[in-house]
Amino acid sequence: MSGWKMASIAVVAVLGGSVLGLYWVTGTPPDDQGTHAGNRETVPAPEPPTGQQAAEPAEAEPPGPERQIANEFARVADAYEAGSQYPAYSFPISEEHLQDYAYNQYSPVVTPVSDGGDTARLSVELEQLHFEKGNPILGTATVSGDAAADLTVNEVSVRDPAGQSLYRQSLEAESDGEYELVIRPSGSEASEWPVELMVMVSGSFRGQDVDAVAPLRYNDPVGEVASVGDARVEGAHLIIPVEVDVDGEGDYAISGNLYSRDGEPLIHIEHEARLSGFDNGTKLRIHRQALEAKGNEGPYELGDLRLRKLPAHPGDRTSYGPRLEKRFNVEGASFDEYSDTTYEDPMREARLEFLRKAAEEL
């Protein structure tokens, strides 16, 4: 195998991250084959002549490692080509991809138990992964399975990474098999809690102890977007001024979604800025190309605004503020009012050339 091919294979690990990153930008799952094959009409196979058996189709050999790598390069190239025509700070989206741009989501934790072939499951799903000190920790615990009636839940506790109990309260089912989790520690209790915590829901199943442990992060308050100013056109961008309330100086990221007035998702917005309590204003930018891709000149609504505090040092974690439920009216403008400056990624052609070459030569 040539040195170039060896180097290409070594890049596969990096490509895995690239594929996931492009999924975030384009909304297209990495394993979606629609990029390479459209809808094909199905043609029925011809009937074999009378008295003859149809020949069994030969099994297709699975592609070798080099072909798999080449296919991966091709998929990444297609996704990158589609997504890189828009700036990452204002990217067109649709309803089916809206959830892909939501931060601070939580995946349920499931603990299965069984006895003599009978099974039950205790599931815990918190409202989010990051909670702010001073706010309740919310979620649900659910019992399911063919032997769910024998699984009794009686307590929820908050524990530190060492397993020490910091808080506990009893639980009663709100409905059949479902328990609402509302943990409201006092300010004095929670002030000394570490960032990394675990919510443990405990019960029993036919004499066995059952625990489902859901991790979370308990951060100091980050802040939130306080106000949105009047939008205006500057060059090729729609500029939306915003002011934030933050609890300390640092690097922050603001995310949100632009909607039509009838609620259709149009553009996902990302913006980073250095902010403090004294310098708390910044501007969101939306490129004309992204708006033209959706064919909507406004007026709009700006929603799902969330503030994140970015790590200040290696090893620090991003902290998340709450997502605003409120939507703000934003005036639009005719596309003729924007400049015709086209967005260009200076590295786009070089990256595409590398990816295409890799797909062709492997």
355 or 142, greater pLDDT = 142
pLDDT digits (tens, 9 = 90+) for 304-338: 999 999 999 998 889 998 889 999 999 999 999 99
Nearest CA to 76 among 16, 154, 130?
16
Tell me how far apart the alpha carbons of residues 203 and 210 are, in angstroms, rounded to a whole number. 5
Cα of 22 vs its chain's centroid, Å: 12
Of residues 345 and 265, more confidence is placed in 265
**Structural domains of the chain in order of their starting residue, each with its CATH number:** 1-36+62-84+345-362 (no CATH), 109-219 (2.60.40.10), 223-337 (2.60.40.10)
* pLDDT score at 262: 94
pTM of the model: 0.69
C-alpha 190/C-alpha 192 separation (Å) is: 5
Q: Do 109 and 123 form a contact (C-beta atoms < 8 A)? A: yes
**DSSP string for residues in 103-150:** -S--PPEEEEEEETTEEEEEEEEES-SEEETTSPEEEEEEEESTTGGG
- Asked if 249 contacts 276 with a C-beta cutoff of 8 angstroms, the reply is yes
Identify which has the larger pLDDT, 350 or 169: 169
From residue 108, give the alpha-carbon distance in Å to each of 1, 139, 144, 196, 291: 45, 10, 13, 17, 36
Structure tokens at 100: 């892909």
- pLDDT tens, position by position, 274-297: 999 889 999 999 999 999 999 999
Please compute, for residue 249, the number of CA atoms within 13 A of its CA located in the half-sphere on the CB side: 2
Q: Are strands 208-219 and 130-132 parallel, antiparallel or unpaired?
A: parallel
Note the pLDDT tens digit of each residue in 149-175: 999 999 999 999 999 999 999 998 777
CA nearest neighbour of 148 among 121, 172, 173:
121
pLDDT given at position 83: 58
Instruction: Determine the distance from the C-alpha atom of residue 286 to the mean position of all C-alpha atoms in its chain, rounded to a whole number.
Output: 21
Average pLDDT over residues 211-222: 94
Name the percent of the chain lying above pLDDT 70.
72
Q: Which residues contact 151 (CB under 8 A, 6 or more apart)?
A: 113, 120, 122, 143, 145, 203, 204, 205, 210
Average pLDDT for residues 258-283, to the nearest whole number? 94
Other C-beta atoms lying within 10 Å of the C-beta of residue 219: 17
The number of residues making up the chain comes to 362
Q: Answer for the pair 268, 93: CB distance below 8 angstroms, yes or no.
A: yes
DSSP-assigned beta bridge partners for residue 308: 253, 320
Confidence band of 71 (pLDDT split at 50, 70, 90): low
- Name the DSSP letter for residue 101: G
- pLDDT value at residue 62: 57
Q: Measured between alpha carbons, how far is 5 from 228 in angstroms, rounded to an integer?
A: 52
Per-residue pLDDT at 40: 33
Burial of 237 (0-12, 13-18, 19+ CB in 10 A): buried
Q: Choose the weakest-confidence range: 64-73, 119-128, 149-158, 203-212.
A: 64-73
Structure tokens given for 341: 């400056």
User: How many CB atoms within 10 Å of residue 314?
Assistant: 5
Task: Please give the single-letter amino acid code of residue 78.
Answer: D
Residue 44 has pLDDT above 90, yes or no: no
DSSP 312: S
